[in-house]
Amino acid sequence: MAGGIKLGILASGFILMAAVLTFAALRTVEGQEPPNRIIIRVDQGEYTINKNIYGHFSEHLGRCVYEGYWVGEDSPIPNVRGIRKDVVEALRKIRIPVLRWPGGCFADEYHWKNGIGPKEKRPSMVNTHWGGVTENNHFGTHEFLDLCAQLGCEPYICGNLGSGTVREMAEWVEYITFDGQSPMADLRRQNGRDEPWKLRYFGVGNENWGCGGTMRPAYYADEYRRFQTYVKNYSGNRIYKIACGAYGENTEWTEVLMREAGGNMHGLSYHYYTVPGGWSDKNSATDFDEVDWFETLKLAGKIEEYIQEHAAVMDKYDPDKRVGMIIDEWGNWFEVEPGTNRGFLYQQNTLRDALSTGLTLNIFNSHCDRVRMANLAQTVNVLQSLILTDKEKMIVTPTYHVFDMYQVHQDAVLLPVDVQSIPYSQDKEEIVGLSVSASRDADGTIHVSLCNLDPKQEAPVDIDLKGAKPTSVSGRVLTAEVMNAHNTFADPDAIFPIPFDAVRLQDGRVTAVLPPKSVVVLTIK
């Protein structure tokens, strides 16, 4: 990526002006009480932020798999065994920890045996959920697990409970993980893979209250108990079984699943999408005003309330927090880009997405005692993507840059944070103005991620580090002059992180001025 190369050019405009203004603002708050105060208790910290909170989701939907990851071995686009190299390199850079596949709604109509063996002999299928297109099944089990190996991440496979059979699911696990002699292991060897793969995460159905079978919670609980019985641990492989959980505020589903099947699961999924305007009148991804900006961030922040409500139900049946909350679908859902297939869910990605991402990840971090994994929807070309492709071209989005900046939290110890901040208000409504998360990594370095949600007002902050004597501070910032700044194939580096200089360390305290509508990550040693 050419971000560093173009920095000198861009600095002559908004970024240079912002730096001058924030330096001036920083001088004005020295010696007086800043309006935003943060206390970080560095000498405390009980829970670890599971790296899988920074996971991702890729469904057979639109151009996510085909044209996103998969171009085929004969493509002129540089690839390794059909998987495009530029996408893999970009995702490796942010240390993607886990990838969920093949769905989503697609999972409960996917029959895995159609996606193995010689490609020319694989039967095609109609993707009834997403655009009614015909897929050739060239991307299947072997290709997905090869993709995960190239990415260096854990695979998370979602099995077909809705239209599949217990035997079909059981045989898939055997095919992937068994190293002995058996019909499925022998079939795998016939298809070119002698050694089994390791498979840690397996979901038993997806959204079975809706597209996965329109089931009632008690019925699904019984079906889950039956199907999971045959998801076996072969050859030393240990599977973390994930049951289908609720959407939004439906705590009844969580109650029934935890009561009837909590002892048979390791994780319970949860889905939440931020849909400003509502499902029937969704916002544009790029053409919006401050009212839309505010509504998006308000709805994104709503997930904290839902996490608390569902976690309270889980605590009732699982006070030791053995069962993880797996938020395996989340993100912003806007109207598709004009002129594109509505069933492909292709949307652009702006600074607004970056702020909602930073806010959401801070929330996930703060609940890492229960939240063990999260999977943004979706990785390439669909919904809130990290990456967009157009034939041989590839760009990364503002959301990608936030994941890049926040990767420092992966497997770090969550530090307790107390925040007193000025709220952000719009039309007599208020939300938090400042979102904060802090962690301490294995080397003792402290990282603080901060989001100033206000698109107009800068945020002077004072950070008190209890139990630490810092010697240096540095940072990176992601912001832009306009709320809807986004990268395009014509201008792939319109927005990207730069060094953050409006920060000072004095007498053991950190002071900084966050630009409006900005994501900042500080490194404190």
CA 120 to chain centre: 34
Give the phi and the psi of residue 181 in degrees, each rounded to 5: -95, 120
- The two beta strands, 518-524 and 201-204, are unpaired
- Rounded distance between C-alpha atoms, residue 410 and residue 402, angstroms: 13
Of 436, 446, 442, the residue nearest 470 (C-alpha): 446
Torsion of CA 85, 88, 91, 95, to 10 degrees: -130
Q: Which residues have a Cβ under 8 Å from the Cβ of 413 and sit 6 or more positions away?
A: 45, 47, 48, 49, 439, 440, 441
Of 352, 324, 334, the residue nearest 156 (C-alpha): 324
Q: What are the CA-CA distances from residue 425 to residues 432, 454, 481 (Å)?
A: 8, 8, 20
What tokens does 177 get? 């993980």
Establish whether 195 is a catalytic residue.
no
Catalytic: which of 59, 109, 143, 207? 207
Sign of CA dihedral 414, 420, 424, 427: positive
Cis amide leading into 378 (omega within 30)? yes
Asked if 206 and 247 count as a contact pair (C-beta separation under 8 A), the reply is no
CA atoms within 13 A on the CB side of 212: 27
Establish whether 207 is a catalytic residue.
yes
Catalytic: which of 109, 135, 154, 329? 329
CA atoms within 13 A on the CB side of 243: 33
Angle between helices 183-190 and 166-177 (to 10 degrees): 60
Pure H helices in 286-378? 290-317, 351-366
Q: What are the CA-CA distances from residue 95 to residues 56, 167, 240, 460 (Å)?
A: 11, 35, 21, 31
Three-state SS for 396?
A: strand
What tokens does 201 get? 């995460």
DSSP state string for 18-75: HHHHHHHHHHHHTTS--SEEEEEETT----B--GGGGEEE--SSTTSTBTTTB--TT-
Residues identified as active-site: 207, 329
